[in-house]
Amino acid sequence: MINSAMDVFWRHGYAASSIDQLTTAMGLSRSSMYKRFQDKDGLFQEVLSSYVERVVRRMTAVRGDTKRQQLETLMHEFLPRGGKTVRPAGCMLARSCAEMADLPPAGQSVARQGLTRQRAIIGEILREAVESGELAAATDIEGLAWHYLGVLQAIMNLPQAGATVGELRRVVELAMTAWPLLPAVAAPRCAV
């Protein structure tokens, strides 16, 4: 039921999704929908929260031998897969943020919290890289977290504009050049 409503909101956005579309997709009468979710806003909040949980689970499941590799693997995890997919193109969370002005306050809050959680996962990878010595202590973790969140959103949404998987792999490759290199340690000089 939630997945069916998710498909409608994902394809059409919050504002353009009608109660008729939602109830038809979920196989519910209007009264059953209102009884279960109170209104369209309540349904949207539950759907978007469910979507965010799925994305966060995928993000936290990614591993790598190094933190840099983990972050790069995370970006690759969200590249389009070959073959047909039944889910709508793009990121439902990004779509929701794009129509933030049309969302009810509670829906806006769920969208903001979703982005905050995604950025926190990326930030944690960066913090762990500092702790392990992979990144310098002076690294701008907040700036890099926003950068990589932007790249993640782009690679999930650019296929709708015609970006190929190969082009998106190049985007990830270029994005990883923002990973600050540690300064080279000078070798000790020998006394002559």
pTM confidence score: 0.87
- 8 Å CB contact between 178 and 147: yes
Residue 111: how many other CB atoms lie within 10 Å: 25
CA distance 24 to 76: 35
CA distance 148 to 33: 38
pLDDT by residue, tens only, the chain of 192 residues: 899 999 999 999 999 999 999 999 999 999 999 999 999 999 999 999 999 999 999 999 999 999 999 999 999 999 988 655 566 778 899 989 999 999 999 999 999 999 999 999 999 999 999 999 999 999 999 999 999 999 999 999 998 888 999 999 999 999 999 998 866 544 455 555
Residue 174 vs residues 51, 151, 179: alpha-carbon distances, Å: 28, 10, 10
Instruction: Read off the tokens for 3.
Output: 């997945």
